[in-house]
């Protein structure tokens, strides 16, 4: 789920945690098939939050921004297996579903797949083979097995898996309203909205009458103030959620904007010092 170039072979990821993981922000640059073996996985994307539990299988579609938290079972662990289906691999498997590809609208960020025992069997077989490290050819074989299974259960997914186009030009106002809290570089926002960096900046300033950097900081601070005041959240839990890299930068920017520290939200003016 990193932004590295396409891998020459599919990548398999085995996650196992015994403690709740801090909410993690990630850019899904390749399709990822994930099966939850135990615990639960909470995903936040484009204003929507969904929870997936043991036995669930999901397809995280490429070119998506997400935030996720993995929760272990009470007294147990979180356990999942993910298979990264990169574009090079899928091009090599396109013969499994030949024909024209049509996609009238962007794919859902997360596609919840029907429960099927073969998904669990696939995940456990990957673990049994040590995530492909013992047998170098295994990831490619498992990728083909996964794609065959996906196409059998949901043939319409061929229009998602085998769509090799780059992001089209999206509605900038809608996209930024849904994704402002993701801590991305401007060139990444530009790419995901189907624009060059120069066009993105020009379109942005024409639409919002402010530079992207200034608008993003203001939007994030306003959202932080709302979460602190209305939701009674703590600054240490808010700064990452709204897109700041560290608590110190967040606190400094917040005080400069509002005239008091994040921890003083809700206090009487006289008590803010």
Same topology, domains 11-161 and 172-272? Answer is: no
Give me the torsion for CA of 32, 33, 35, 39, rounded to 10°: 20
CATH class held by domain 11-161:
mainly beta
Residue-level pLDDT at 189: 95
Nearest to 181 by CA among 46, 11, 55: 46
Asked whether residue 145 carries a pLDDT value surpassing 70, the answer given is yes
Domain parsing of the chain, residue ranges? 11-161, 172-272
**Region 103-131: what's the mean pLDDT?**
85
For 70-89, the pLDDT digits (tens) are 999 999 999 999 999 999 99
Q: For 170-201, how does the pLDDT look when each residue is reduced to its tens digit (9 = 90+)?
A: 999 999 999 999 999 999 999 999 999 999 99
Q: Nearest to residue 37, comparing CAs of 11, 8, 61, 57? A: 57
Q: Is pLDDT of 132 > 70? A: no
Reply yes or no on whether the pLDDT at 8 is more than 70: no
Residue 115, pLDDT score: 94
CATH class given for the domain over 172-272: mainly alpha
């Amino acid at each position: 789920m990193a932004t590295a170039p396409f891998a020459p072979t599919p990548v398999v990821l085995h996650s196992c945690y015994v403690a709740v993981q801090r909410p993690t922000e990630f850019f899904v640059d390749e399709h990822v098939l994930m099966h939850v073996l135990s615990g639960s996985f909470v995903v936040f994307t484009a204003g929507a939050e969904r929870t997936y539990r043991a036995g669930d299988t999901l397809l995280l579609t490429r070119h998506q921004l997400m935030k996720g938290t993995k929760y272990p079972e009470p007294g147990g662990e979180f356990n999942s297996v993910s298979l990264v289906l990169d574009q090079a691999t899928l091009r090599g498997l396109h013969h499994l579903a030949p024909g024209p590809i049509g996609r009238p609208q962007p794919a859902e960020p997360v596609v919840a797949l029907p429960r099927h025992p073969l998904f669990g069997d696939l995940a456990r077989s990957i673990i049994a083979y040590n995530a492909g490290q013992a047998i170098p050819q295994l990831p490619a074989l498992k990728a083909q097995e996964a794609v065959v299974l996906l196409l059998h259960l949901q043939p319409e997914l061929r229009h998602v898996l085998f769509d090799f186009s780059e992001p089209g030009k999206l509605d900038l106002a809608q996209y930024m309203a849904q994704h402002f809290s993701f801590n991305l570089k401007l060139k990444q926002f530009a790419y995901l909205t189907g624009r060059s960096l120069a066009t993105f900046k020009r379109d942005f300033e024409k639409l919002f009458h402010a530079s992207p950097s200034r608008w993003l900081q203001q939007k994030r601070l306003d959202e932080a103030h709302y979460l602190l005041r209305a939701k009674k959240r703590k600054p240490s839990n808010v700064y990452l959620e709204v897109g700041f890299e560290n608590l110190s930068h967040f606190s400094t920017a917040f005080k400069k904007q509002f005239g008091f520290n994040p921890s003083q939200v809700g206090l009487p003016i006289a008590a803010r010092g």
